[in-house]
Amino acid sequence: MNYRHAFHAGNFADLVKHAALTRLMQRLTAAAAPLLVVDTHAGAGLYDLTDADQARSREAEAGIARLSGLDLPPEFALLKQAVDSRNGGGAVRRYPGSPLLVCDALRRGDRYIGCEMSGEVFARLGAVLRGTGKDARGLRGDGYEALPQLLEDAERRLFVLIDPPFEQADDYLRIVEALSEVFAVRPDAAAMVWLPLKDLETLDGFVRRMESAGLPEAVVAEARLRRLDNPMKMNGCALAVFNAPDGFEHDLRAICRFVVQALGEPGGQAKLWVA
Q: Report if residue 142 touches ligand SAM, rule: CB under 6 A.
A: yes
Question: In the complex, what is the shortest distance from the CB of residue 190 to ligand SAM, in angstroms, rounded to a whole number?
Answer: 16
Q: Report if residue 43 touches ligand SAM, rule: CB under 6 A.
A: yes
Of 102, 121, 191, 239, the one binding ligand SAM (CB under 6 A) is: 121
Question: In the complex, what is the shortest distance from the CB of residue 199 to ligand SAM, in angstroms, rounded to a whole number?
Answer: 20
Q: Report if residue 3 touches ligand SAM, rule: CB under 6 A.
A: yes
Determine the Cα–Cα distance for residues 139 and 137; give it in Å rounded to an integer. Answer: 7
Among residues 16, 39, 11, which one has the least CA distance to residue 272?
A: 16
Task: Return all residues near 26 (Cβ < 8 A) that are at least 6 apart.
Answer: 78, 105
The site map against ligand SAM for 145-184 (x = CB under 6 A) is: ------------------xxx-------------------
The strand pair at 190-197 and 236-242 is best described as antiparallel
Of 57, 118, 132, 269, the one binding ligand SAM (CB under 6 A) is: 118
Q: Report if residue 19 touches ligand SAM, rule: CB under 6 A.
A: no
Q: Report if residue 252 touches ligand SAM, rule: CB under 6 A.
A: no
The site map against ligand SAM for 63-82 (x = CB under 6 A) is: --------------------
Q: Report if residue 196 touches ligand SAM, rule: CB under 6 A.
A: no
Question: Is 240 buried (19+), middle (13-18) or exposed (0-12) by CB count in 10 A?
Answer: buried
Q: Report if residue 138 touches ligand SAM, rule: CB under 6 A.
A: no
Question: In the complex, what is the shortest distance from the CB of residue 17 to ligand SAM, in angstroms, rounded to a whole number?
Answer: 6
Residues at the interface with ligand SAM (CB under 6 A): 1, 3, 5, 17, 39, 41-43, 97-98, 115-118, 121, 142-144, 163-165
